[in-house]
Amino acid sequence: MRLSLTDVVRVAGFGLRSRPLRVFLSALGIAIGIAAMVGVVGISASSTAELDRRLSAFGTNLLTVAPGQSIGGVNARLPDTAIGMIAAMPGVERVSALGRTEAKVYRNDHLPPEQTGGITVFAARTDLPAVAGTRVTSGAWLNEATANFPAVVLGAAAADRLAVVRTGPGELVWLGGRWFAVVGILAANDLITDLDYGAFVGWPVAAAELAFDGRPTTIYARARENAVTSVQPLLGATANPEDPGEVDVSRPSDILAARQETSKTLGALLLGLGAVALLVGGVGVANTMVISVLERRSEIGLRRALGATRGQIRTQFLSEALLLSLFGGAGGVVAGIGVTAVFATVQSWTTVVPLWAMAGGLAATVVIGGISGFYPALRAARMSPTEALATT
């Protein structure tokens, strides 16, 4: 005679219910291990999803060209022909540029000159947002008209430092020794964080008012997706044919991806720790089951007297161990999702827990439960009914 599955589960569930505290504690051991593993996988998956989101928002085809250090150690500058040369390259779709000025920006004209707030004033081309993938949260970017007037657009962090929250003709900052109207505030830029600490004025007004020499310090180029790798090595020589070694070319999306790779190593370490926790949890389950078998000798004897076969006793204790670990596993998966959700929410990411991590977590508990329940179940089944009944 075989027991139906519901009977097996019912008997196992009864065995667990009669010792709730011990069952809870040993399930907790499993749960901690599974939660750690699901959490690590979930957090790393959420961070990867966030990276993908950023990359797809900004594109992986953005290249930046900046002057490197010259041999003398002075900051080199790019020749003013560089923008045109790069724009003419095959595979390059759009180009924009920034030019660093020596001007400083203050909230008002009473502040001491050294209190610059770390904000850099750039001369910016009007096509920058389209190329660098920035947008304004308030007001508007510079256009052909405002680029000729004392108007400024602030990066997100710069606006914060200057305590500027509104835009408009009445919102003024003291920039380069005269008043500039704040016409726009940029959204935080994940890909090019330098832009957050910038104050951007029009190219013509910078030349006229801020002693700007008209030479770009950063050129942003959007290449065709399939031409990025062929364009990148040529950018240096194109920007500065006389001294290609003094040009730094980089691809911001690569930097982001590299940062992601570094965090993966840490993730693997944590995953290992989770596996150790799971192993310890498995030992806890085995321990609980061994004690349970010893304590329940009379129950085993009675069940044998009622006609249970050795196999049925084995099944009972094995399914108890499985059910116990499955409780822990399910709790652990829920806790792992919770940890991921809290972490992701704090980082304002989307919570992503891959299905395979949840299924894998539960599968791991089934394996752990099976292994740790095997020996105790075998012991219970081997016990002779008379010996089991003799102990009261």
Which positions lie near another protein, rule CB under 8 A? 1-4, 6-7, 10-11, 14, 18, 298-299, 301-312, 384-386, 389, 392
**Pairing assessment for the beta strands 136-139 and 218-223 based on DSSP bridges:** unpaired
Residue 116 or 309: which CB sits closer to another protein?
A: 309
CB of 385 vs another protein, minimal distance in Å: 4
Residue 222 or 314: which CB sits closer to another protein?
A: 314
CB of 369 vs another protein, minimal distance in Å: 23
The neighbour count for residue 1, using CB atoms within 10 Å, is 6
The two structure tokens encoding residue 265: 């190593």
CB of 392 vs another protein, minimal distance in Å: 5
Residue 7 or 80: which CB sits closer to another protein?
A: 7
Q: Collect all residues with Cβ–Cβ distance below 8 Å to 259 and sequence separation of at least 6.
A: none
Give the C-alpha separation, 67 to 243, whole Å: 10
Residue 8 or 285: which CB sits closer to another protein?
A: 8
Residue 221 or 381: which CB sits closer to another protein?
A: 381
Half-sphere exposure of 369 (CA within 13 A, CB side): 28
CB of 298 vs another protein, minimal distance in Å: 6
CB of 366 vs another protein, minimal distance in Å: 25
Residue 215, classed as helix, strand or coil, is coil
In terms of DSSP H, where are the helices of the chain? Answer: 5-17, 20-58, 82-87, 128-132, 156-162, 203-209, 228-239, 252-295, 297-305, 310-346, 355-382, 385-390
Residue 2 or 224: which CB sits closer to another protein?
A: 2
Residue 27: burial class (beta carbons within 10 Å; 0-12, 13-18, 19+): buried
The two structure tokens encoding residue 181: 């109207």
CB of 359 vs another protein, minimal distance in Å: 31
